[in-house]
Amino acid sequence: MSQVMNIIRWQRTLPCYSNMIIRVLHKEAIPVEWKKPGIGWTKLNFDGSSKGGGGGRGRGRGGKASIGGLIRNDKAEFMLGYAESIGRANSTIAELKALRRGLELVVENGWNDKLWLEGDAKTLVEIISKRRKVRCMEVQKHISDINSILPEVNNLVVSHIYREGNRAADKFAQMGHLLEEPTIWRHVPPHEVLAIMRDDAQGKIVLRTRR
């Protein structure tokens, strides 16, 4: 009889646990949205990719790496995109090289007034925005190279966005793995990113679930 009563008590408490689980899952879902820059501003989204090799962020030689990114205006219109394979590198170096290449293209094309930089590597974004130094000499070298370009930019904003909001830059970086030489797209984006860019321009919200 006592076993039956225990089962009944457990069944009665189950809905409470179910509600708690639902609330936790709901709380963990984060809405992510790519946002247009303000009027007169230009936005650069960048990303780096490293596959295999056991190189985590900032550690190890890494695997086959590539970089990519794109530049859009205040109407979310495509201005330029870039992608290339960079040999072996860990994801930290790939992210830094993606940012540096994007900045070089911004300056070369005279878009260095009112610039918004955005990437999904939160730690690196904080290092760049706060001008911090790191212990790894290789990483610091790339950061120093980036810092040498930043004075050429007027009115700069640097921000982090979750990967779900950086899908277009990620797509360019993934395309870089397949390229034999650096590639730049001007005015007309490759068809691989059209759907993502359309979602971004329309303000589509993508839910991010924390693991």
DSSP string over 71-98: EE-TT--EEEEEEEEEEEE-HHHHHHHH
Angstrom distance (rounded) from CA 42 to CA 76:
9
Residue 105 lies in a domain: yes
Residue type, 126: E
Residue 177 lies in a domain: yes
Angstrom distance (rounded) from CA 121 to CA 115:
18
- CATH number where 137 lies: 3.30.420.10
What is the tens place of the pLDDT at every residue in 137-160? Answer: 999 999 999 999 999 999 999 999
Q: Residue 11: pLDDT above 70?
A: no
Residue 34 lies in a domain: no
Residue 81 lies in a domain: yes
Residue 74 lies in a domain: yes
What is the tens place of the pLDDT at every residue in 56-114? Answer: 444 556 899 999 999 999 999 999 999 999 999 999 999 999 999 999 999 999 999 99
Confidence at 127, pLDDT banded by 50, 70, 90: very high
Number of domains in the chain: 1
The boundaries of the domain holding residue 57 are 42-209
| Count of CB atoms situated within 10 Å of the CB of 74 | 15
Residue 33 lies in a domain: no
